[in-house]
Amino acid sequence: MLSTLGKVPEGYDERVYAGVLGKMIGVYMGRPIEGWSNERIEREIGEVWYYPNEQLGMPLIVADDDLSGTFTFLRALPDHGVSPDLTAEAIGKTWLNYLVENRTVLWWGGVGVSTEHTAYYRLKSGVPAPLSGSMERNGQVVAEQIGAQIFVDGWAMVCPNDPETAVTLAGRAASVSHDGEAIFAAQFIAAVEAMAFGEGTIASLLTRGQTFIPPGSLIYQIVDDVTAWHSEDGRDWRLCLRRVTEKYGYEIYGGNCHVVPNFALIILALLFGDNDFQKSQMIVNTCGWDTDCNAANVGCILGIKNGLAAINAKVDFTTPVADRLYLPTADGGQCITDAAQVANDIAAIGYTLRGQKPDAPNGGARFHFNFPGSLQGFQPEDSAACRGVVSLTNAVVGRVGETGEVVDERALAIAYKGVGRGRNACVYSPTFMTPDALKGGGGYGIEGSPTIYGGQILRARVVAHDDNADFAPVTLVLHVYGDKDALETVRVATHKLAPGDAHHFHAPVPDTEGKPIAAVGLEIGGDAGSGTVFLDWMNWDGAPTTTLTKKNGTAWRKAWVNAASEWCKWVLWEPNQFTLVQNNADTGFALTGCREWTQYQLETTVYAHLVDRVGVLVCGRGLRRYVAVTLSPGGIARLVERYDDAETVLAEAPIEWSLDLHYRVTLSTKRDGTIKATVEPPDPSADPVTLTGLIDTDRAFGGIGLLVAGGHAQFGAVSVSPIG
| The pLDDT of residue 5 is above 90 | no
DSSP-derived secondary structure for 130-154: TGGG-HHHH-HHHHTBSHHHHT-HH
Q: H or E stretch including 625?
A: strand 625-632
pLDDT of residue 400: 58
pTM strictly above 0.95: yes
Write the pLDDT tens digit of every residue in 304-362. 999 999 999 999 999 999 999 999 999 999 999 999 999 999 999 999 999 999 988 99
- Which tens digit of pLDDT belongs to each residue from 208-223? 999 999 999 999 999 9
Tell me the pairing of strands 517-524 and 336-338: unpaired
| pLDDT of 691 above 80 | yes
What is d(CA 215, CA 217) in angstroms, rounded to the nearest whole number?
6
At 446, which helix (H) or strand (E)?
A: none
Q: Where are the alpha helices (DSSP H) in 147-258?
A: 147-150, 153-157, 163-175, 181-195, 202-210, 218-233, 237-248
What pLDDT is recorded for position 399? 64
Cα-based distances in Å from 81 to 16, 72, 76, 312: 21, 15, 8, 37
Per-residue pLDDT at 492 exceeds 80 = yes
The kind and range of the H/E element at 295 are helix 291-306
Range with the poorest average pLDDT among 111-115, 474-478, 568-572: 568-572
Q: How many angstroms separate the CA atoms of 330 and 643, rounded?
A: 15
CATH code for the domain defined by 560-722: 2.60.120.560
Average pLDDT, the chain: 95
- Residue 406 pLDDT grade (very low, low, confident, very high; cuts 50, 70, 90): low
Residue-level pLDDT at 405:
63
Dihedral pair phi/psi, residue 124, rounded to 5°:
-65, -30
> pLDDT tens for residues 165-215?
999 999 999 999 999 999 999 999 999 999 999 988 999 999 999 999 999
Locate the domains of the chain by residue range: 12-49+59-86+143-332, 361-541, 560-722
How confident is the model at residue 261, as a pLDDT? 97
Whether residue 260 is predicted with pLDDT greater than 90 in this model: the reply is yes
**pLDDT tens sequence across 594-630:** 999 999 999 999 999 999 999 999 999 999 999 999 9
12-49+59-86+143-332 with 361-541: one CATH topology? no
Please tell me the class of the 12-49+59-86+143-332 domain: mainly alpha
Asked if 143 and 182 touch (Cβ cutoff 8 Å), the reply is yes
Residue 268 pLDDT grade (very low, low, confident, very high; cuts 50, 70, 90): very high
Residue 201 has what pLDDT? Answer: 96
pLDDT tens across 272-303, in order? 999 999 999 999 999 999 999 999 999 999 99
The fold of 361-541 is: Jelly Rolls (2.60.120)
Closest by CA to 134, choosing from 181, 176, 188, is 176
What pLDDT does residue 135 have?
98
pLDDT attached to residue 10: 94
Q: At what angle do helices 291-306 and 181-195 cross, to 10 degrees?
A: 30
Cis amide leading into 130 (omega within 30): yes
Residue 401 has pLDDT above 70, yes or no: no
Looking at residue 402, its pLDDT comes to 59
The pLDDT score that the predictor gives to residue 445 is 80
Would you state the pLDDT for residue 441?
A: 62
Q: pLDDT value at position 233?
A: 83
Q: Is residue 26 a contact partner of residue 281, using CB atoms and an 8 Å limit?
A: yes
Distance, C-alpha 272 to centroid of its chain: 32
pLDDT at position 257 is 95
Rounded CA-CA distance 349/67 in Å is: 18
Look at residue 574 in the predicted model and tell me its pLDDT: 82
With cut-offs at 50, 70 and 90, classify the pLDDT of residue 397.
confident
User: How many whole angstroms separate alpha carbon 292 and alpha carbon 668?
Assistant: 44
Percentage of the chain with pLDDT > 70?
98
Partners of residue 614 on adjacent β-strands = 631, 708
Farthest CA pair distance, the chain = 89
Of the candidates 289, 217, 291, 213, the one whose C-alpha atom is nearest the C-alpha of residue 255 is 289
DSSP string across 357-379? PPP-GGGG-SB---STT--TT-E
For residue 691, how far is the Cα from the chain centroid?
A: 35
